[in-house]
Structure 1
């Protein structure tokens, strides 16, 4: 029997229920996997509270990594014992599960399943922002709002590795040190002189704003984008997406949006994976911590996200395996 977290209604974290479930054997095109680690993403909280509607009941979660135990008919290229990961397949909060083989990425020998579950979805989101929505070039200057969050911390370090100057913005002063670790400059979003602080670092304006916050992003930040620059709006941690400040269109500033599966898919996933795994090997993310919760403690993980008390990227751990 597998452990699963299921929800029958939307609401507070307490709607997440621990249950036992039969997994069964894989059908055509499927494999069965035992999961070592499950990535917890902000969208999981949106599924839980109903702001990202899905049919109920449901097993939440979209990201995980583990080992293939059984292979169904018609599957090629995968065998029992292969270590695999996935980044956008619903039903992740489970110790074992069935998966479409086409949804899986086979992991290189030197990429741990825990590392994959920590960085895959968030890293692919960063890749989408940096490669598909705005191709960041060496010498450019970028603002990252929400730079202390999971995606923001990865994106900031990736942008630095690409040779850009990174201005990270934190939602609270106590997160400035965390932002500073991944950016060249760390600023506080609530500073009444935030616009002046940005201009001091980028007097000609920034080439791109990576907005991971949404409605709380101030006009001061958006107006810091130079004429002809881009705003990449891929986050809504504060609620609604970023609204378009007056005058941006007249200055030739484009707002670009997108979802990770739209840009990281069969035609681009090899390139995205190769670049992400290369950065992991280089140590670019070595100072980003993961916080482990038992699968049975999914409620606590969601509470920690909402209370903003996490010290790293959250993982649910169903089994005793470790990298």
Structure 2
């Protein structure tokens, strides 16, 4: 086929390096499918590739997640047909009208989930899934601190945890955002007073786990908010990379645990991907979690969308429409 286009970064830098590029995706090869995308998800990982924090050969075809319909299948593909509604949240190249991906990295979208909601939720929702279900086996009554609770992952993680009976202390960057979060305790404000507030809320004990996608700015507050033998889950770098960690600080903090997970290690196999997506779509269809699309941008305006995300001017999920 011909006539497709995508958004790429030809050099590392700010949002201004993003440019539109015409391309021909061609025909899918063995084990691949060609998807005509109807919605694309916006994520901080897109910014990490644009800036060079995450390495990739230039030019970088940006974007990780999208949803649409299969328009062609390559030889050897089973289980998918032309016309199927599918989503993909692996690899690069989602900022595009069309995308060729391995069939074993694609998931079928149930009828009860719209393509926009799927595009908004694939990466963030599956991230919330592994954080809530796989990094630590939390049970009802335990306490979690969730940073950026009104953001893409946070807005999914908070209700997911509460559905499990976990007590959630949510933290946001502003009072306006905190007011949108339905948590047991919804906080906002400076990080330098956060740990003291968390200690007060927990009777001096601290929380069992911190889910931190902010990174550098929140690191010290996160560690100081943990109970003895608590778990620090650092899964993002919205404010910059976490500084070098001194292991003695973990000892002094109360024999703390730290993990730096990434979604792709939890969906490495086709079976893991299918199981994680199934857990997400189940909760979407039951209304436990919602896409909560706060804003939509034209795909051609991807630079503006990334700028808004960097400046923390977005709430909930953001989708780009080709």
TM-score by length of structure 2 reads 0.92
Q: What is aligned with 1:303?
A: 307
Q: What does 1:79-94 correspond to in 2, within 5 Å?
A: 79-94=81-96
Asked if 1:201 corresponds to 2:201, the answer is: yes
Structure 1 unaligned runs (5+)?
Answer: 319-323
Q: 2:276 pairs with 232, 252, 272, which one? A: 272
1:290-312: CA deviations, max 9, x gaps? 42111111111112112222233
Cα distance in structure 2, aligned partners of 1:57 and 1:218:
32
TM-score by length of structure 1 reads 0.92
Q: What does 1:1-323 correspond to in 2, within 5 Å?
A: 1-178=3-180, 181-190=181-190, 193-203=193-203, 204-217=205-218, 219-241=220-242, 244=245, 247-249=249-251, 251-266=254-269, 267-286=271-290, 288-318=292-322
With over 3 angstroms needed to count, the CA separation of the structure-2 counterparts of 1:265 and 1:111, relative to structure 1, is: farther
Deviation at 1:269, TM superposition (A): 2.2
Structure 2 unaligned runs (5+)?
Answer: none
With over 3 angstroms needed to count, the CA separation of the structure-2 counterparts of 1:47 and 1:257, relative to structure 1, is: same
Query: Aligned Cα RMSD in Å?
Result: 1.9
Cα distance in structure 2, aligned partners of 1:289 and 1:190:
26
Cα distance in structure 2, aligned partners of 1:95 and 1:88:
16
Structure 1, 192-201 or 164-173: larger mean CA deviation: 192-201
- How many pairs does the alignment contain? 316
Cα distance in structure 2, aligned partners of 1:67 and 1:302:
25
With over 3 angstroms needed to count, the CA separation of the structure-2 counterparts of 1:220 and 1:11, relative to structure 1, is: closer
CA contact (8 A) 2:156 2:290 kept: no
